[in-house]
Homo-oligomer: A and B are copies of this chain.
Amino acid sequence: MPDHVLAIVARPSLEAPAAPDASDWRFVDPASPQLTALDLGATRGDGIFETLSVNHGRAQALDHHLRRFARSAAMLDLPAPDLATWRAVILAAVAELDVPGEAFVKIVMTRGIEYGDRPTGWAYGSVSPDFTRERSDGVSVVLLDRGYRHDVERTSPWLLAGAKTLSYAVNRAVAREAARRGADDVVFVSSDGIVLEGPTSTVVYRRGDGLFSPGTGLGILDGTTQANVFRWAEGLGMSTAFELTTPDILRSADAAWLVSSVRLAAPVRAIDGVPLPVDREFTDTMNGWLAALDN
């Protein structure tokens, strides 16, 4: 069975016409061209995506990812994704993929061809990169200005802060800036000094017996892995809470992690060059629990 698969989704939304295709989706060669140069995904980053991890042949946090996919679509005024079709194509990709270790499935819906009447959809599944080192040794991060105030989601919804869009050039540019500064990853800070999220992760930190995260309503994503980590911590009897997080709060945490679907929990071992303690045992237990989830 293949170690990466691509499925084209003929009817990503029931609110728009379907592609003239015999099936709801079909597997195609991932290396062959599937998109025209007029697709608004390619010319304007005008679309949305989700990335799900696959462990033991099961897609993780499927409902949460689909809910967020629908929310991103609404924020972009895209036709509502047909979640039954997307769920089916994700499960089909997972079944077709069938790799022994960790894998992921990425689903994408673009606004389609300019002046056209239907969105473009696809699902790509592949073996995951090996994140053993990041999970055990941790990542060094730099704090970088996200440019926006922490309240733009409420004041300026047209900025699409909090939607998971294809317009991710900035999320990739900050990774290059981190590398220039000798760091592995980034934590965004709002222009008014509130810790937001990583470019592809959610910030979680521990203080005493509590786990904390900056939470929603800040123009950041509602973290699927963060929700699972909170669930795990609550099962251990820890308290969990969202709080408005300043850089000083983060820097003085007992430990911190960048959590995301595929890399899981990467402990933060330094912020702007200043070391932060890494609790390996706690992190290993957290990652073991995340990796063993069956939904």
Is the Cβ of B147 less than 8 Å from the Cβ of A170? no
A154 to chain B, nearest CB (A): 11
Q: Is A144 an interface residue (CB 8 A)?
A: yes
Residues of B within 8 A of A155 (CB): 145
Cα separation A26 to B216 with both chains bound (whole Å): 48
Please name the residue on chain B nearest to A163 by beta carbon.
B169
Q: Is the CB of A38 within 8 A of B169?
A: no
A128-154 residues with Cβ-Cβ distance < 8 A to B are: 144-149, 152
CA gap between A9 and B33 in the complex, in Å: 15
Residues of B within 8 A of A108 (CB): 37, 42-43
Of the listed stretches A52-60, A172-180, A240-248, A285-293, chain B binds: A172-180
Contact check, A37 vs B6: say whether CB atoms are below 8 A apart.
yes
State the Cβ distance, A238 to closest chain B Cβ, in Å: 35
| A84 CB–B CB distance under 8 Å | no
Rounded to whole Å, the gap between the CB of A133 and the closest CB of chain B is 18
Q: Which residues of B contact A295 (CB under 8 A)?
A: none
Q: Which residues of B contact A172 (CB under 8 A)?
A: 40, 44, 46, 111
Please give me the residue from chain B that is nearest to A35 by CB atom. Answer: B35
With both beta carbons as reference points, the residue of chain B lying nearest to A110 in the complex is identified as B42
Residues of B within 8 A of A146 (CB): 159
10 contacts between A and B (CB under 8 A): A35-B42, A42-B108, A45-B168, A47-B169, A76-B169, A76-B173, A145-B155, A147-B152, A160-B173, A167-B168
Question: Which residue numbers of A lie inside 8 Å of B, CB to CB?
Answer: 6, 8, 30-47, 49, 76-77, 106, 108, 110-111, 122, 124, 144-149, 152, 155-161, 163, 165-174, 176-177, 191
